[in-house]
């Protein structure tokens, strides 16, 4: 028997993970993960990219690099921050991370003490909860409606809790709900947080994947006090397996972040960073994103229309203007986790909604992903889900 | 002013880091880093490897993967554990990590609480100290001689401190000293730790790089109680920029380790893992290691002979049978850190030894790396160092 640390003792196997394991066979129509469509990965282009890296940079491309990351990639990210997120920044404000998951982990470590408060939307990304858990924070869920965090509720909490250190938000096509904060919410949010000593972590892996409506400025672009830390990712616009994300922050935060990252993994793959940088230079990442958007928009619309067609009355769901997910709400007496075995028996999978609430409860929701299933399977899967829902509705 | 966590407030810029920054220009003869010789990186082979990955596995190679790692790579590692380290294990006992730095970080997080004791050789690897620091342990340095940790001293500490949770050791060609534990020390060590409730972290990035003498069994190969966690790395036998290491442990530890790693970065680059696995299958990693050993042995011997020739009497240094480093001991009144500006003025660099002691002190040492400098620069650099030493000796 090993004596684990107090925190490690809390790491238990989840029954949901065990259920989702059952859904990994290829015959299952899985809306459970958050996987990008692999058919769009630029495999042929990557052959040219990899050879070019090895020819042009050779040894340097596979030697140890700096913890901050490969400068030409950080310069490309700075351009992208301007063009896609309206943020003025330079390479020195940017750190490349081993996925934006790593940034979530590091930020909680450098900003939050045990029993400090972390604010989140309700619900919020389960991977962020997992990343923050090791510092043992108190989670306060800020009441959230179909336009995102409710400013008045946020202000009430900030005014009454002096231990709030970090506010974690996903204003664009939120995971899990698909909801996007409109402009007035963003403004109201920034007005409030500017009055308090807190750091905002704006997680925006889907921001470039908007299918309708107008692009909105990121919170970081409205940040006049250096309070917002912006997290971007190559996982959804390029390829997730390279594990490449980035963090934009003020110099004070970047300094601590880099020192902590050094302890965690010394630095992100030097070759992987070049794969992204060379692809951007040799090919057209914007055109690639356009292709992704066209496919996902079609799948989003098809899933939405299929839910309208096959889901019984009394079930509601969001219409995401972008991103990868839609969020289904059942009548309060229903439990999406308890329903899972029946859903799995029909060879379909979703993620039950309860795990997206750091403080539990809210069993009457589930999250659906539409980016990773071909069109015919989306229709078939939603139809089967609709059958289970009809059986379960009172 | 950002309010950082208590730990982050302790992350300060080191004056040594600032000094070493000065030594990064190409004209400096740097013995400071721990970089492999880039001229041996198999760049031409990697072109074929990368194309083969993309042709054979395409999309799968850049999609999200499991946290444990790519199974064919873990199977290759299992074979390597048997052949190079005499350890019987299977893929399920192995997790691929983002460099073995990540393993050091995660192990301390899952094994050690604040104020628990971590034992280390004295001196020990500074990167490990950096990795363990976030859990705020108490470090106890076990007295260490030219054969490694002294068993009697270890036993005394274990018998008197019930809070020892982890013992961190580098029995092969230690960083920073270059010392290797002989067989009787390994046996004595295992006999002692088997009597206590502790986990041993055996860090072995250099084990395959032995230039003379006979290969010794790893502690893990002598472990009958599942108490030893073995850390391996592709950084020194293949390429460090890919950030690939591995951890071998009993199932109980692997389970917690994987759960924690998921929070930290979800998983290590799926493409990077295939780069190692395909290289092993398409080319001959053992032959590659043989080439590395031939070059490093030459450099090791040359540095040793140059020190004998150019260092004044009163200065001692180790003869490493393998690995990347030798360790220089000055008379007690000398301070290697204070001497640095003079050394840098002569365009040479080392790492002052004090930072390898978790509790400080021991200023009269420095570490030299011989793997990353061509032969003529090794001789020239040691000669210049010798001049400074002669000036500084009383």
pLDDT digits (tens, 9 = 90+) for B140-195: 999 999 999 999 999 999 999 999 999 999 999 999 999 999 999 999 999 999 99
Q: Left if phi > 0, otherwise alpha if psi is -120 to 50, otherwise beta: which for A201?
A: beta
Query: For residue A390, what pLDDT is reported?
Result: 97
What does the pLDDT average to over B258-276? 96
H runs (alpha helix) in chain A: 6-10, 15-22, 43-56, 71-85, 99-111, 126-132, 151-160, 183-193, 251-265, 270-282, 285-310, 340-345, 375-392
Mind listing the pLDDT tens digit for each residue in A343-394? Answer: 999 999 999 999 999 999 999 999 999 999 999 999 999 999 999 999 999 8
The answer to whether residues A84 and A206 touch, using CB atoms and an 8 Å cutoff, is no
Residue range A11-41+287-392 forms a domain whose CATH class is alpha beta
Q: Where are the beta strands (DSSP E) in B159-204?
A: 164-169, 199-203
Q: What's the fold here for domain A43-282?
A: 3.40.640
Beta bridge partners of B327: B367
Confidence of residue A111 (pLDDT cuts 50, 70, 90): very high
Interface with chain A: mutation pick from B107, B271, B324, highest number of A CBs within 10 Å: B271
Closest C-alpha to B275, from B77, B3, B51, B88? B51
The answer on pLDDT for B17 being more than 80 is no
Angle, CA B34 vertex, CA B32 and CA B39 arms, to 5°: 110
What does the pLDDT average to over A136-142? 98
Q: What is the C-alpha separation between B229 and B255, in angstroms, rounded?
A: 13
How many Cβ atoms sit within 10 Å of the Cβ of residue A390? 13
Query: For residue B368, what pLDDT is reported?
Result: 98
Does residue B146 sit at the A interface (CB-CB below 8 Å)? no
Share of chain B above pLDDT 90, in %: 95
Report, at the CATH architecture level, how domain B6-41+287-392 is classified: Alpha-Beta Complex (3.90)
Q: What is the C-alpha separation between A102 and B277, in angstroms, rounded?
A: 24
Q: What is the C-alpha separation between A253 and B40, in angstroms, rounded?
A: 38
When CB atoms are compared, the residue of A50, A241, A260 closest to B8 is A260
Q: Give the minimum alpha-carbon distance from A110 to chain B in angstroms, rounded to a whole number.
A: 5
Confidence of residue A18 (pLDDT cuts 50, 70, 90): confident
Q: What is the C-alpha separation between A16 and A33, in angstroms, rounded?
A: 13
The answer to whether residues A148 and A171 touch, using CB atoms and an 8 Å cutoff, is yes
Q: What is the C-alpha separation between A79 and A332, in angstroms, rounded?
A: 46
**Cα A275 from chain centroid (whole Å):** 22
- β-strand pairing of A117-121 with A164-169: parallel
User: What average pLDDT is seen over chain A?
Assistant: 96
Query: For residue B12, what pLDDT is reported?
Result: 87
Equal CATH topology for B6-41+287-392 and B43-282: no
List CB contacts (< 8 A) between A197 and chain B: 3
Q: What's the ipTM?
A: 0.96
List CB contacts (< 8 A) between A4 and chain B: 110-111, 256
Query: For residue A21, what pLDDT is reported?
Result: 78
Does residue B21 sit at the A interface (CB-CB below 8 Å)? no
Does residue A133 sit at the B interface (CB-CB below 8 Å)? yes
Query: For residue A319, what pLDDT is reported?
Result: 97
What does the pLDDT average to over B325-343? 96
Closest C-alpha to A38, from A304, A292, A232? A292
- Residue A285: partners with Cβ closer than 8 Å, 6 or more residues away: A237, A238, A279
When CB atoms are compared, the residue of A50, A98, A239 closest to B50 is A50
Mind listing the pLDDT tens digit for each residue in B237-252? Answer: 999 999 999 999 999 9
Query: For residue A24, what pLDDT is reported?
Result: 77
Beta bridge partners of B168: B120, B201
When CB atoms are compared, the residue of A134, A255, A265 closest to B109 is A134
Share of chain A above pLDDT 90, in %: 95
Mind listing the pLDDT tens digit for each residue in B204-224? Answer: 999 999 999 999 999 999 999
Domain coordinates in residue numbering, chain A: 11-41+287-392, 43-282
How many Cβ atoms sit within 10 Å of the Cβ of residue B77? 27
List CB contacts (< 8 A) between B118 and chain A: none
Mind listing the pLDDT tens digit for each residue in A302-327? Answer: 999 999 999 999 999 999 999 999 99
List CB contacts (< 8 A) between A62 and chain B: 38, 41, 43, 46, 239-242
List CB contacts (< 8 A) between B3 and chain A: 111, 165, 197
Q: Left if phi > 0, otherwise alpha if psi is -120 to 50, otherwise beta: which for B138?
A: beta
């Amino acid at each position: 028997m090993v004596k684990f640390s107090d925190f490690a003792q809390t790491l238990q196997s989840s029954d949901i993970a065990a259920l989702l394991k059952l859904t990994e066979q290829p015959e299952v129509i899985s809306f459970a993960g958050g996987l990008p469509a692999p058919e769009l990965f630029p495999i042929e282009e990557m052959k040219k990219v990899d050879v070019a890296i090895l020819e042009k940079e050779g040894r340097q491309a596979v030697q140890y690099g700096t913890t901050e990351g490969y400068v030409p990639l950080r310069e490309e990210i700075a351009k992208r921050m301007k063009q896609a997120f309206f943020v003025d920044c330079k390479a020195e404000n940017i750190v490349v991370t081993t996925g934006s998951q790593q940034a979530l982990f590091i930020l909680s470590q450098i900003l939050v003490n045990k029993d400090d408060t972390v604010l989140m939307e309700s619900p919020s990304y389960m991977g962020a909860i997992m990343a923050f858990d090791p510092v043992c924070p108190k989670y306060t869920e800020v009441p959230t409606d179909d336009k995102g965090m409710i400013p008045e509720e946020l202000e009430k909490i900030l005014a009454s809790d002096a231990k709030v250190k970090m506010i974690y938000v996903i204003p664009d096509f939120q995971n899990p709900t698909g909801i996007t904060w409109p402009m007035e919410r963003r403004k109201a949010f920034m007005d409030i947080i500017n009055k308090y000593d807190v750091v905002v972590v704006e997680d925006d892996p889907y921001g470039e994947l908007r299918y309708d409506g107008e692009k909105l400025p990121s919170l970081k672009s409205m940040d006049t006090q250096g309070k917002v830390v912006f997290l971007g990712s190559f996982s959804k616009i390029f390829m997730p397996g390279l594990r490449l994300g980035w963090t934009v922050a003020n110099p004070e935060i970047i300094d601590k972040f880099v020192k902590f990252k050094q302890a965690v993994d010394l630095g992100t793959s030097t070759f992987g960073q070049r794969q992204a940088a060379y692809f951007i230079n040799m090919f057209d990442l914007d055109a690639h994103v356009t292709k992704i958007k066209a496919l996902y928009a079609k799948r989003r619309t098809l899933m939405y229309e299929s839910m309208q067609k096959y889901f019984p009355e009394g079930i509601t769901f969001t219409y995401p203007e972008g991103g990868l997910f839609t969020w289904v709400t059942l009548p309060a007496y229903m439990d999406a986790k308890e329903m899972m075995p029946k859903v799995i028996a029909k060879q379909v999978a979703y993620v039950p909604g309860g795990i997206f609430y750091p403080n539990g409860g809210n069993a009457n929701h589930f999250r659906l992903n539409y980016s990773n299933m071909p069109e015919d399977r989306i229709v078939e899967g939603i139809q089967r889900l609709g059958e289970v829902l009809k059986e379960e509705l009172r």
